Amino acid sequence: MVTRRDALLTTAAAGGAAFLNPKATQAQPAISGDRAWETSYSGGKAAPSLPPGQPGKDYQPVVTPNGAALPWKLVDGVKVFHLVAEEVEHELAPGLKASCWGYNGRVHGPTIEAVEGDRIRIYVTNKLDAPTSVHWHGLFVPNGMDGVSGLTQRPIGKGETFRYEFTLRQHGTFMYHPHHDEMTQMALGLMGMLVVHPRRPPADYRVDRDFVILLSEWRIVPGTHRPDPNEMTDFNVLTMNAKAFPGTDALVVKTGERVRIRLGNLSAMDHHPIHLHGHYFKVAATDGGRIPVGARWPETTVLVSAGTTRDIEFIADAPGDWPLHCHMTHHAMNQMGHGIPNMIGVKPETIDKRVQPLLPAYMTMGQNGMTEMAEMGMPMPKNSIPMGGAAGPRGYILMGGMFTLLKVRDALTSYADPGWFEGPVGELAELASPAELRRDGIDAPAVAQGSEHASPAAGGSYTCPMHPEIVRPAPGKCPICGMTLVKRETPRAGH
């Protein structure tokens, strides 16, 4: 936007905000005289498009964990994309598949990536039985391209292909989703991220790793194969890029790299406080635009409301496996039921004795929380993952849903999943030895470290479903309860 640049220089020359970088991006709203009102809140006056930005040269492509970028081809200087809305068989996590609606065979749709000033043309083919449309969330587009079915366009009928075309007059993190029967179509998975890079990025814009994560929530009754779009409050599958842990790919970075994570939330009802362990970050942008450097506030948890995006930026300078997850406790669980009696504190022995003669497969559960249930590997309704979680390096990680890992490593040969983090000796929370307790005058029962707590082998090892602290290299019986040891899942080496 040539006019804006002039305005900026004018302001700078006028001795305005010293914090303004002369190479500030064109998309920074110009500040007019009284510093309260911007020049435009919708991208300003229409301007001719700029030459199409090229990956690597004009921008560093973003990484969509578990996802992909929507490919484009150049036709007379216009980036041409093709979105196909269709039914897609999608795996949300190992063991949980569902018949969803997505774009181009993917749930969620592939990330659309372009550069400010690009002219983009997106064809949308509707292969669903229902009519649809696509709205470009946060984008300044001509009203007729806004994608609101019935208002700005007629709906895209079954089998039809519509053309959306506009010039990008901003940069930031945006989203795209249907604006026809959103309740149904978004609940079934139709949505995607849309990233626009600045034409002339300021220095602080450049990062080493740029991730895109779209948050959503679903209701999939355990044992069924289809999301229920009528659910309003009781969602039981929470996803990042349509995957629930342990289905989420890790965000792999090298120690010291600059990281940006773009979070979008198209959940039906919930906001999500996304929390990062081990680092704080600055909230650097919303879908309304980039936040001035001095106004960026520090967080360890950023609340991403429904219908917004947040970009967070930080330097990943602490090696380790750092969880990145929604801090609503139920959003980090998979598919569990919430309507059952509260079994905490209930002694199971008499109950088991009475019930098991009638129902041999029965076992009282929940009296100590979720741990045993998740680890026991009991038979579940088909196509369901009620407990969620996966075997980790030091036991069972009882997490699910909107949960992933930021894996920061000193030495990386590639950005493939590097496996589990092994920290330096001595920086591990472990059983306090009797000597330590004595030395520090701690009045607590001392439990001696035994061979039972050997660190796990990377390959096959056997553990007791009821007592995960028991780990043996070979099959056998648990010394505490006598149950047959089960083989532990080998740690993930990436999917």
Taking the complex as a whole, the smallest distance from the CB of residue 240 to another protein amounts, in Å, to: 23
CB 345, min distance to another protein, A: 4
- Rounded to an integer, what distance in angstroms lies between the CA atom of residue 260 and that of residue 63? 10
Span near another protein by CB under 8 A; candidates 13-21, 74-82, 373-381, 389-397 = 373-381
Residue closer to another protein (CB basis): 112 or 336: 336
Question: At which residue do the structure tokens 């082998």 appear?
Answer: 457
Largest CA distance in the chain: 87
Least distance from C-beta 482 to another protein, angstroms? 21
Task: Give residue 389's identity as a one-letter amino acid code.
Answer: G
Which of 384, 404, 461, 463 binds another protein (CB under 8 A)? It is 384
Q: Could you tell me which stretch among 19-27, 199-207, 249-257, 365-373 binds another protein (CB under 8 A)?
A: 365-373
Tell which residue, 27, 309, 4, has the closest CA to residue 140.
Answer: 27
Among 172, 229, 386, 468, binds another protein (CB under 8 A): 386
For residue 457, give the nearest of 490, 430, 480, 483 by alpha carbon.
490
Question: What's the CA gap between 132 and 458, in Å, rounded?
Answer: 49
Closer by beta carbon to another protein, 18 or else 344: 344
Q: Which two tokens stand for residue 124?
A: 């949308």
CB nearer to another protein: pick between 311 and 372 = 372
Of the candidates 453, 454, 456, the one whose C-alpha atom is nearest the C-alpha of residue 488 is 456
Minimum CB distance to another protein, residue 342 (Å): 4
Rounded to whole angstroms, the Cα distance separating 16 from 8 reads 9
- Out of 78, 148, 365, 483, the only residue in the binding site for another protein (CB under 8 A) is 365
Q: Which is nearer to another protein, 60 or 367 (CB)?
A: 367
Position 466 contacts another protein (CB under 8 A): no
For the CB of residue 486, give the shortest distance to another protein in the complex, in Å.
16
324-353: contacts with another protein (CB under 8 A): 335-337, 339-347, 350-351
> Quick one: which of 355, 432, 437, 486 contacts another protein (CB under 8 A)?
355
Nearer to another protein, 212 or 332 (CB): 332
Pick out residues in 213-232 that bind another protein (CB under 8 A). 221-223
Q: From the CB of 359, what's the least distance to another protein, in Å? A: 6
In this complex, which beta carbon is closest to another protein, that of residue 379 or of residue 426?
Answer: 379
The residues of the shown chain that bind another protein, judged by CB under 8 A, are 221-223, 335-337, 339-347, 350-351, 354-355, 357-359, 361-362, 364-366, 373, 378-382, 384, 386-387
